[in-house]
Structure formats: C-alpha cells, structure tokens
Structure 1
Amino acid sequence: MNFIFISLDTLRADRLGAYGYKKPTSPYIDKIASEGVLFEKAYAADIPTEVAHTGIFTGKVGLTTGVVSHGSELNSLPKSVQWLPSLLKNAGYTTAAVDNLYQLKEWFARGYRHYMNSSGSKRWIDGKTINELATSWLSTKGDEPFFLFLHYWDPHTPYLPPEKYIPSFYDQEKNPYDPSNRSMDEAYNSAAYPFFKYHHYDMLGSVTDAEYMNALYDAEVRYLDDRLRELDEELERLGLAEDTMLVLFGDHGESLTEHDIYWDHCGLYDATVNVPLIIRWPNRIAGGRRVPGLVQQVDLMPTLLEAAGIQIPDDLDGKSLWPAINGQASGTHDRVFLSECAWQAARGVTDGNYKLIVTYDSGPFKRPPRELYDLKSDPGETINLAELMPELADELQLLIDEWVQGKLAGREDPMQKQLEVGLPFRKRIETILGQYGLSWDEWWNDPIRGKFDDAVERKQRALEEQQR
C-alpha cells in the first residue's frame, strides 16, 4: 500500500462544504470526503505551522517534544525522537516530500529519500508547483510502496488567487477599494498591522472592504480544491488511487476578523484549532463515514503506522484513529489540550462542550486572563463565561495545570523559557518598527494609534522638530 499525506496549510474546517459551508469552495474535497471518513472535531493541539507539523510527524504534543513555538531560535528536536517518515523508510517505504518546511527547521527533511523543495523566488507557493513536482516524481517512482508528503500553501496569506476564482465569492458590482467603506479600519489600526502591511496588504492595494478579504480566502480554497482534483486525476491515470491511503489535514485554520484577528492564525479559538481531517482508502474505509468525537493531529502517526503494519511506539501522545474509523469509538480523546506561543502565549482545554483558554502573554492583542466558552450554544466563542461560571473555569484550569506538570515531569516549561526571551512574532513587529525609528512601547501605547503610515509620519515630524 501507499500513503499520500497532504497538509492543507491554513485551511479552516468550516470553510468547506463537507463541514457545512454553503459557498462553493470545495466540491472536490467534498467528493473525497464522501468516499472516505471525515472527522468533525479534529484539533490542532499546537499552533501554528512549525509546532503543528512537528506534532504530526512525531505523534507527540509540544510539551512532550519541547517544541511549543514557531520561528523560535530556542526550538530543537533531538534526533532520538522518532519521526514518521524515518519509521516508514526503515520499513521499506520509498519516502518523498514536496515541501519547504526544511527552511524553518532542519528536522522537517528527516527520513526522506527524496526531498523536493517547493519554494520559489516568492514566498507564496502555487499549488501548481506542488502538483508538477509531485506528478513528476510519481511517474518515475518505481515499484516500491511509498509515502509522499505534499504541503499546499494556497489558503495562506497573502491571498492572491487567480482572478477568475474571485467572482464566485464576491459581488462584482461592489468596489473593494471604495473609500466610503470603513470595514477595514480595525484591521489597519491593529497592533499587528506593521507586520501584515508588508507580508499581505501591500500586495493587494488599499482594500477597504473586509468582505473582499474573506472572499479572497474563499477563492484560494477553491483554487486549492482544483489542484487536489488535478492530483487525484493523475493518481487515477497512473493506477495508484485504489492502493493509496489519501490523508488530507489542516495544520491550523484562519481567523477572518473574529476576536480581533485579521486574516491570521493565532488564538485558540475553533476558527484556528478545529481543523479539517479526511481520510480515503478505497476498499478499506467505507465511504461517507463521519466521526463526531474529539481527535487530534498527533493521532495521525499511530494511525498510519498501524495501517502499514509497523509497531507503534509506546511513548506517543497520539492514539490510533482506527477504532473511530471502524465505528468502535466516537473519537480518541475525552478532552484535547491546546497551546500557542508565537503571537501570544496561551493554553486551553476543550471537551467538545466547553473550552477554557488561559492567556499568559497577549502579545499585540487585548485578552482577558481566562476565557470560557460554551461551544454548543456559542460556537463562535463570543460570550466569555469565565466570570459567570468561575467554578467550571477553575476546574478546567486545574486540568490544564495538572496536564502541564504531568507532561513536563520536572522539566522546565518551554513556554516560560520562551517568554523570558520574548515572543517570536513580537520580535518581527519590533524589527519593522525599528526601521522607522519606532519602539514597541511607542506603537503599542500610542493613545491615538491609527494606521501604521500615520504613526511613521508622526514620528518623522517629531524627529524633525527635535533637530530644529
């Protein structure tokens, strides 16, 4: 048998038809879901990209590996930690990847006989490039069973879908640059704006309509859907589809203005941590199955090892999905613990009914110390119940604290270690501010903070006054 393991970077679960979305973003992904099993409550225990993928390929959460942040110089992964591609390679699989995570950390290239770097001259990686490299390799791979990892980035910022995809999601009678539309003001006035100005907004022009930004995201998802269709058609042409387990997963989702997060993937809200997970394996998995219970990304490694007949290491945090796939269980976990340490530092826990988020450093955001949400009555997580239900909040916080201490087993908390040197994404903003003579405190504490360009202009005027 073969495995094609596909990371759909920044793909939000509830933006897919199979997860209930009404706009036509995902006709082909929905088809794949109808031919296999869909997990309704799959969670990314650690976000964003670097920590999520580390968990996926080790079967261990960040507190176990020590990798809890993204873009941090403190992150390291010992070579003694077992790695999914390495285990498959040792078992006789030809292992290959079309990916660029190696540029983040060296361990993402471990275990591959063939590693095809998908990066080009631009940070935005087109799904066509992924398909070209993947299909070229598939056509010459030989007869050995294989594991192929593909990493698609299309829904990630900057949102630059081909023009023909946009009309399906945005009224062409509207002008996304209409100066009378002020719906983008909060995004342009946010503390994180200096970073996104250069990595997102400048590539799109002076957009004034927030709905246009959301439409661009949807268009990117539909573009990705077409690329997956092309890949699947190539599998059929090569005669590989029947004997290949196809695994589609999101590493994290995307906030589309919710919780004052503007087209980015931070915050332990379901928009970012409830990810799509779909598995198709013809003649082995019945089509149309839906798993309603809690599962998490670290469950993927033991699931693939079991399918390949490889012994599952006994020290994994993940559990095999096969009982849930076969209808013998509703999920793999009674609760899922959550963590982030990039823009902000926070931990959380959910049992599928309630979620508690505890924030230790809010970074460029304004967050209460604790947030408690009733996910059944308030799926958008808009009503914080922490002060109204303090006993439940205390109970859930105790669970988080006990879980952390249990995982650490006396080791230093890597999140606290990161906080001592500063959050990585704050440093990114500080670097940009420094280019204009601004400090973090000047920017964050400015009582009339508005657009970044206005702040730069005010700073320049103040400097000119000092020089006179």
Structure 2
Amino acid sequence: MRVIYIDIDSLRPKHIGANGYHRNTTPNIDKIAEQGVSFTRAYCASSPCVPSRASFASGMFGINHGVLTHWGPGCDFRISNHPDQPMFIRYLRNQGYKLATFSSFADRHDAFWFMAGWNEVHTHTLKKGNEDADEVMDAVLPWLDENGRDDNYFLHLQVWDPHRNYTMPVEYQEMFKDTPPPAWPDAEAIASHQDNYAPFSALNLFPHGDGKSNAPSIPDRIRNSDDFKAFVDAYDGSIRFMDEQLGRLFAKLEELGIMDETAIVISGDHGEAMGEHGIYGDHVCADEAVHNIPMIIKWPGMKQKNKRFNELVYNVDLTATIVDLLGIKVPKKWDGKSFASLLREEDYEAREYLVWDHGLYSVSRSVRTDDWLLMRTYHPGVVPLEPIELYNMKDDPNMTKNLAEEREDIVAELDHLLQKWTHEHVQPGKQPDPLPLVVQTGPYKYVTKEMWENRLSKVIGREDLRDEFLKNIKAK
C-alpha cells in the first residue's frame, strides 16, 4: 500500500470547501474529499506545532509524551520506543514500509526526535518553514517520478502556507476581493476586540518591532471589517495557492497511474484563530479554533465516498487508524483509538469527550463534549483569559459568551471528566504531567513578561492594558 500524508500547518477546517466554506479556497482538496471522507470535529490533542507533531510521532497525548510547549521545561520528548509504545514512523518501518518525509519542521523547532525512523529525510530548503508550497512540490515531484510506482511506502510532506505571513503571490489574495468574508467576526465583534492586549490581537497583530506589518498582504491592525476582510483574503489566498500546488501533486499521481490505488490523508498540526478569543491568525490558547484540525481520508477500497463525519476524534486516533487500515496491530499503549471500523461501516464506539491542552502564550487544558467546551487556564501568560470558561458550542461556535457562572452544573460535570482523564494518565510508575512545569516557569517563549509590559506601555501606548496584564498574571 502507498500512503501519502499531507501535513498542512495552521489550516482551519472551516476554510475548506468540502466542509461547507463559501469561498473557493480548496478545489483540489475538495476533489480528494469527494473520493473519501472528511471529519469536521477532529482535534489535535496538544497544541501548537511542536506538541501536536510530538503526538503524531508518538501516538500519545502530551501528558504522556512530555511536550506541551516549544522549548524549555515542559518540552521534554520522553518516548523511548518500547515495543508496546513505539514511535509511529519507526513502527511502520519495522513492518516493512519505506518512510520518507519532506519537512523543515525539525529544523525550524530543533525537534530532532522527529527525525527518528525515516528512511529518507528531505530538508529541501534551509528556510525553516518559510518556504512556500511550490518549493515543497518542486522537491516532492521528482521523488515521485523515481519512487512513486513502488509499493509499501509512507510519504509525509508538509506545507506551511496557511501559517503567517501569507507569502503567496498577490494575485491569490486578490482572487477573493469580490467575495464576502466569513459573517463573523462582524463589526461589533471587531470593535469589542480593540481592548484585547494579547499578541496577535486586533491591537497587536504584529507583536514585535514597531507594530507595523512586515507582510505586504496583511494590515498593521484589525480596526474594522475592511481590515478583517484584507486579512482573511490573505489567509484564504495562501490556502488557495497551497491547494493549487497540491493539484500538481495529484496530477503527478494521475500521470503515474497510481492515484486510485494510493491512500491520501490530509490533516494538520493545529487550526488558527480568526477572531476567536480576539486573536487573528495565530494560536494562543486551548480553544476550539486552535485545536480543530482538517482530517480527510481517501483510502483504496473504502466504500464510503464524499461523506462528512461529526464524531469527536483526535489526531492520535488518525495515526492509530492508518496503522489499522494497513492491517497492522495498533500498539496497546498508544493513546490513539482507531476509527477504521467507522470507515468500514462496522460498529464503532465513539468517544464521549476529548481533553486537549496548550502551553504557549498561555497554559490551558480543555474538555470538549458534543455540546460544550470547558477551558481551564492555569497561567494566562500574555492572553486575557478567565480561569474558567464555558461555551455552548452549538449555540455559540465562536465562543463569545462565557457561561461558567450561569451553568455551574455543567462546569462541575466537565471538571469531573477533566479530573478523571488526568487521573488515568498520571499514575504511580508513570512520568508526571508536564503541564505544571510550564505553569511554574510561565508560557513566555516568543513574548516575555518584561517585553510585553514594556510594549503595552511604550509601543502601544496603553498603560491601562499594561495594568490589566500585570493584574491578571499576578492573580494566576
């Protein structure tokens, strides 16, 4: 079996045409979705980039693989490749598969454990994630010419384009100038975001330097609906450019005569905020927008076509499912649960809830059920978050009204699930939860406490926001 895994950084599932997006951002991805299935409620178990890909590499939750932030305390990858708990890539290789990756992820984040197990590692540029999708395809397509018709390989390729700063050719941004942006955030919501002191907020869209935009495609700030439209046009333009480059990949598979018999999996490391929690184009907490990831599977012989599933699934469930679909036993100590039986139209016991966490800019852990999202923030870092936030995701998908005080019964119910989940994963003989390490040292990586205090006061000129920031971190 040939498997091609397309790893897209910072792609919101809501911006994929096959998932109902009103803009024509992903015509080539949509064609793959028509031949397979899409999961609209798939989530990364830990965010952002480094914790999420540690889950991909290990098949484990962050509480077990040890990586909840980008470096320092709480970023100690600790999977030792025990036979019952092997790393995903090493496990496939032991089963006779050839493994190749085209990715600059390890170079960008000094995450060299990601290199373990591959037969071939192609760091096709030294741009550390700043390369565009055409550069990735220029490296991948010759590899396919040479190896594409072989059997039993797993090809991983990563594209960064939906990650800021949206460096696609300007004509891709202009493609959407006559198409309305998403209905939310509207003018009222954008106005309410003007007093948010977080990095990547409407006020602090560029949190370094003088605050001016360092990307031609992006405005300095989100002051109004016109600014938001320019911003989302750039984001969607980067998606469309990336999608056209994936079209080159799919055309190559057709040219080689292997498209129908090749499994294609499209997913990503995390989503992206577009106004949720007042953040634009980044990822600062454990909310829905950051953790919701794309998940599309086209698998040879799969009967179900052009179908969307709404089951709650993790990224670690996807790796377990790939192994299962390949006819390989899922390691019993992985945290991932295969949903291959769902794809085979067999009995499947869905997860009743998910727990996920985040450790960059803020430290939070969340519980997600069908209807509700509870987010507990253990350290607000540089983000104005409440210690407990509760959202009705069916009535309020953009998380605009915190119901924690009104629905103490739901808070208690979800808190019980959170404590139950934590107890299951922190037991005698197991390594400790890394989250307290990030809380103890603070989620100050790219933005330090001293830097942010100075910026709010002297660069932004908002001493009131500086005082609010200092008050929040003092009360953590």
TM superposition score category, shorter chain reference: 0.7 to 0.9
Match of 2:144 in 1: 138
Do the aligned partners of residues 188 and 212 (structure 1) sit closer, same or farther apart at CA in structure 2, a change above 3 Å counting? farther
Deviations 1:115-157 (A, max 9, x none): 0014434742211111121111122227342110011101001
Match of 2:214 in 1: 202
Q: Is the 8 A contact 2:64 2:433 kept in 1?
A: no
Match of 2:158 in 1: 151
Q: Is the 8 A contact 2:16 2:30 kept in 1?
A: yes
In 2: Cα distance, 1:191 partner to 1:353 partner: 27
> 1:421 is matched with which residue: 418, 423, 441?
441
Match of 2:170 in 1: 163
In 1: Cα distance, 2:253 partner to 2:18 partner: 22
Q: Is the 8 A contact 1:25 1:221 kept in 2?
A: yes
In 2: Cα distance, 1:196 partner to 1:449 partner: 10
Give yes or no for the alignment of 1:91 onto 2:101.
Answer: no
Instruction: Report the secondary structure of 2:260's partner residue.
Output: helix
> 1:412 is matched with which residue: 414, 432, 453?
432
Deviation at 1:288, TM superposition (A): 1.3
In 1: Cα distance, 2:243 partner to 2:20 partner: 16
Match of 2:113 in 1: 107
Q: Please tell me the residue identity of whatever aligns with 1:450.
A: I
In 2: Cα distance, 1:27 partner to 1:224 partner: 11
In 2: Cα distance, 1:121 partner to 1:442 partner: 31
Match of 1:300 in 2: 318
Deviation at 1:293, TM superposition (A): 1.2
Give yes or no for the alignment of 1:240 onto 2:241.
Answer: no
Deviation at 1:171, TM superposition (A): 4.7
* Long gaps (5+) in structure 2: 180-189, 222-226, 466-476
**RMSD of Structure 2 on Structure 1 (CA):** 2.7
Deviations 1:187-224 (A, max 9, x none): 79844249644699313375452321111001011111
Deviation at 1:285, TM superposition (A): 4.1
Deviation at 1:7, TM superposition (A): 0.7
Give the share of equivalent positions with the same residue, in percent. Answer: 30
Deviation at 1:68, TM superposition (A): 1.7
Q: Is the 8 A contact 2:360 2:445 kept in 1?
A: no
TM-score after normalising by structure 2: 0.85
Do the aligned partners of residues 20 and 251 (structure 1) sit closer, same or farther apart at CA in structure 2, a change above 3 Å counting? same
Q: Please tell me the residue identity of whatever aligns with 2:13.
A: A
Tell me whether 184-193 or 315-324 shows the greater mean CA deviation. Answer: 184-193
Q: Is the 8 A contact 1:372 1:393 kept in 2?
A: yes
In 2: Cα distance, 1:241 partner to 1:109 partner: 28
Match of 1:75 in 2: 76
TM-score after normalising by structure 1: 0.86
1:277-316 residue pairs with structure 2 within 5 A? Answer: 277-316=295-334
Give yes or no for the alignment of 1:251 onto 2:257.
Answer: no
* Long gaps (5+) in structure 1: 173-182, 456-468
Do the aligned partners of residues 451 and 133 (structure 1) sit closer, same or farther apart at CA in structure 2, a change above 3 Å counting? farther
Q: Please tell me the residue identity of whatever aligns with 1:156.
A: H
In 1: Cα distance, 2:146 partner to 2:165 partner: 33
**Count of equivalent residues:** 435
Q: Please tell me the residue identity of whatever aligns with 2:97.
A: Y
> 1:348 is matched with which residue: 356, 362, 366?
366
Instruction: Report the secondary structure of 2:312's partner residue.
Output: strand
Deviation at 1:262, TM superposition (A): 2.2
Deviation at 1:84, TM superposition (A): 1.4
Deviation at 1:402, TM superposition (A): 2.2
